[in-house]
Every structure is written in structure tokens, then in C-alpha cells.
DNA sequence: TGCTAATATTTCGATATCGAATACTTCGCA
DNA sequence: TGCGAAGTATTCGATATCGAAATATTAGCA
């Protein structure tokens, strides 16, 4: 039997200690490490759920990107949004189109460009998956009061607003 | 020219709206969406930095997992920690061992098990990369006061503490 | 002890992803 | 208008990843 995998809390504690030791600022590392740990867990849960829907994580990323954008996107934009090489997107879209979840329509005004959009079936898949994941997400925040959730969201949104200034 | 890719802030706003419309709770979605958006941006920045060090994101995940754990780990544990299939870890470790960044040592007490640990070169790579990434991470939190960072960290750590109870 | 189930890693064939090269269109500007 | 530069999607060969099967060891228990 393997040594038990440590708890997320323990992993977090050790990670912060390691980063601080390596020269990172503690207040920074506590936040960054926690954010990444939370995302990793969420990704694991989503992955399980997506197996049932027979969608890969990559395909799901495309569906959510389209849903969240609220408008048609180009393959390049989807590649950027889902952190994948543009050439990989071609194949993903082929598979998704084959299953009738997305639709490619050429741009009449610029014939180098193609717009990708969700079909009705794509939207339906999105809805089903969201209703499933909201449950787990609510559980995650269970220990926070309404006020705390609001404060957490506010602080994170301050950080989000900063992102675009940085990578410019 | 493509339509300008929307700002992270705008993407966040739309994403929350979409999830709420699809039946998610707003206070939950504001937090979850922000956390995921932040991680995505961080991943993009790390990726750029890692190109210079000639390490893939997957390899880097192994190095950091070992550094953060503070002890040797098995291939299975590393696969779990880095969200990858156990069979994929074999090849990753081959490459990392070839480059002298990690070391495989069989467990004397259980001969089905192998312990993977960072070599001195592996630790050195870790230190170099961390010093680079702490800069960008500090920038991200620039708009928060010390008190706010502490509060943000505290709230996230409450959430982290909850994670293990859930997937059991 | 002997046998079955469980654990841990690796191998193997199929598929997905990557980076570079390709094909085509549009833009900028002389 | 014409022509080189830039933008956009795709193709292509090499590599990484996946899930299932194979291999080997250990644990549980009659």
C-alpha cells in the first residue's frame, strides 16, 4: 500500500513553505498556490463528470468558451482561450462538428476567416453539464457565509481586472 | 484583422452571466470563474517562461510537485498530482531522468514501487524558475493591500480545507 | 502454505497535440 | 493598381497522452 496521499490542505501548506523558502513572498504564494490547488481539484471533478457525457476536457473547453463568449469565435480565438495550438483546434473542431455540437460558417467579408458557433445540441450539452457542476461548486464554497463569498469574489475580481495590463 | 479578443475582465463578466443564466448561483460562479480565469492566465505566463528553460508544462508540473511535496513520490502519486494518466508518467520520467533532473530509486521494502526524487540539477531548475515567476505573481496582486491579500488567502484556505471532504 | 485479489509500473496501439511548413486572402502603401 | 507583408486556417511529420492489457509483486485469508 502506498503512503497515503496527503490532504489538499497539507499539500497547500507544504507548497507555500517551499515557495517561500525558494524566495517567494508569503502573501503572494498563499494566494497563488490556493488558486491553483482549487483549480486542479475542480478540473479533476469536471473530468469525471465529462466522461459520462463522452466529451473530453479539451472539447468541453471549446463548448464553454463559445457559451461564455456569447458570440461566434474563430478557431484562433478558441485556441488562445483554451491554451492550445491553433493547429490542434482544427482537429478538435472536426470532431465536435462531426458530433453536431458546433458549426463552422465562413465569414462572407473575409474569406480567410471562419466562425465557429454552438448548435442547439451544443447548447443543450452545455446546460446539462453546468447543472451538474454547479452542485460540486456550491459544495466547495459551503463553509463561506454569503458575506465572505461576496468579499472573496470582489477581491478576485480586482485581480482579474489587473491581468490585461500585465501581459501587454 | 480579427475582432479584438475581449479583456479578461470582460470575459469574466460574460462568463458569470452565462453561468447564472444556465442555472448557476451567482455568488458561486463569480468565485469559481475568477479562480479559473486567473489560473489560465498564470498558465500562459508560465508556459512562456518555461520555453526559455526548455521544459514542457508537464515536466514542470512534475518538478514542482516533487519540490512542494518535500519528499520522494511514486509515479502514481505524480500522475495524480499532475492530472495525467499513470502510463503517461513513465515517458515523462524517462525524459526527465535522461536530462538528469529526477532520479528513480526502487523501494527496497516493496519491489513494485519506485520512488522519484529531484536531483541537485532538478532543484536548481526549480529555484531559477520560481525566482522568475514570483515577479509576475506579485504583479498580479499589485492592486491589493497587505490586509486584502491576507483576507483573500484566508478565504481561499477555508475553501481548500473543504476539498478533501468532498471527493471522498 | 497456497490461492485470489489488489497494487504499481510499464508496454502497446490508437489518438491528440505540437511546431513548422503550406495555401490562400487581405492589408498597407508606394 | 500592384506587390510585399501580415493574418488565418489547415496539412504534415514527430512526439505526447490515453486507456487497456501485460507483468510483477505484495496482501489477505481460508
B143–A160: do the CB atoms touch at under 8 Å? Answer: no
**B160 is a domain residue:** no
Considering only residues 21-80 of protein chain A, which place a Cβ less than 7 A from any atom of strand C? 56, 58
Q: B69 and B49: one domain? A: no
Where residue A100 falls (left for φ over 0; alpha for ψ -120 to 50; beta otherwise) is left
Residues B59 and B114 in one domain: yes
Least confident of A110-119, B2-11, B16-25, B128-137: B2-11
Q: Which of B17, B134, B158 has its CB closest to that of A143? A: B158
Average pLDDT, whole number, for chain A? 93
> Do B13 and B71 fall within a single domain?
no
- Confidence at A33, pLDDT banded by 50, 70, 90: very high
Judge whether residue B156 has pLDDT over 70: yes
Judgement on whether residues B62 and B46 belong to the same structural domain of the protein:
no
Q: What are the CA-CA distances from residue B16 to residues A36, A135, A138, B30 (Å)?
A: 20, 16, 14, 6
Arithmetic mean of pLDDT over chain B: 93
Confidence band, pLDDT 50/70/90 cuts, at residue A26: very high
In a domain, B123, yes or no: yes
> Which chain A residues in 132-161 sit with Cβ < 7 A of strand C?
none
Q: Is the CB of B101 under 7 A from strand C?
A: no
Q: Is residue A58 a part of any domain in this protein? A: yes
**Distance in Å, residue B33 CA to nucleotide D23 C1':** 44
Last-in-domain residue among B53, B69, B88 = B53
* CATH code of A117's domain: 1.10.10.10
pLDDT band at residue B1 using 50, 70 and 90 as cut-offs: very low
pLDDT at residue number A4: 61
At residue B164 the predicted structure's pLDDT band, cuts being 50, 70 and 90, is: confident
Both B44 and B86 in one domain: the answer is no
Does residue A105 form part of some domain?
A: yes
Tell me: do B120 and B75 sit in the same domain.
Answer: yes
Are residues B92 and B81 part of one domain?
yes
* B128 and A CB contact within 8 Å: no
Shared-domain flag, residues B79 and B116 = yes
Confidence band (pLDDT; 50, 70, 90) for B167? confident
Cα–Cα distance between A38 and A165 in angstroms, integer?
25
Same domain assignment for residues B81 and B27: no
Contact B57, B47 (CB under 8 A): yes
Q: Residue A168 has what pLDDT? A: 59
Q: Which domain holds residue B125?
A: 55-135
Is there a domain that residue A162 lies in? no
Tell me which residue in A2, A15, A161 faces B68 most closely, judged by beta carbons. A15
Is there a domain that residue B103 lies in? Answer: yes
Residue A56 lies in a domain: yes
Q: For the CA atoms of chain A, what is the radius of gyration?
A: 19
pLDDT digits (tens, 9 = 90+) for B46-104: 998 999 899 999 999 999 999 999 999 999 999 999 999 999 999 999 999 999 999 99
Is A153 inside any structural domain? no
Residue burial B20-35, b: 16+ Cβ < 10 Å; e: rest: bebebbebbbbbbbbb
* Residues of chain A with C-beta less than 8 angstroms from the C-beta of B77: 2, 5
Report the domain count for chain A: 1
Instruction: Kindly state whether residues B118 and B59 are assigned to the same domain.
Output: yes
A140 HSE (CA, 13 A, CB side)? 29
Amino acid at each position: 500500500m502506498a503512503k497515503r496521499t496527503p490532504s489538499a490542505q497539507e499539500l497547500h501548506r507544504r507548497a507555500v513553505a517551499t515557495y517561500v523558502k525558494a524566495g517567494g513572498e508569503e502573501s503572494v504564494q498563499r494566494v497563488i498556490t490556493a488558486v491553483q490547488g482549487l483549480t486542479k481539484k475542480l478540473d479533476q471533478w469536471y473530468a469525471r463528470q465529462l466522461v459520462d457525457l463522452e466529451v473530453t476536457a479539451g472539447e468541453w473547453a471549446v463548448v464553454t468558451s463559445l457559451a461564455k463568449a456569447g458570440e461566434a469565435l474563430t478557431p484562433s480565438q478558441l485556441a488562445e482561450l483554451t491554451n492550445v495550438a491553433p493547429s490542434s483546434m482544427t482537429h478538435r473542431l472536426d470532431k465536435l462538428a462531426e458530433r453536431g455540437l458546433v458549426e463552422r460558417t465562413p465569414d462572407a467579408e473575409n474569406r480567410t476567416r471562419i466562425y465557429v458557433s454552438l448548435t442547439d445540441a451544443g447548447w443543450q450539452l452545455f446546460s446539462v453539464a453546468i447543472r451538474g457542476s454547479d452542485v460540486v461548486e456550491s459544495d466547495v464554497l459551503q463553509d463561506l457565509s454569503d458575506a465572505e463569498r461576496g468579499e472573496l469574489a470582489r477581491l478576485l475580481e480586482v485581480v482579474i481586472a489587473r491581468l490585461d495590463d500585465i501581459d501587454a
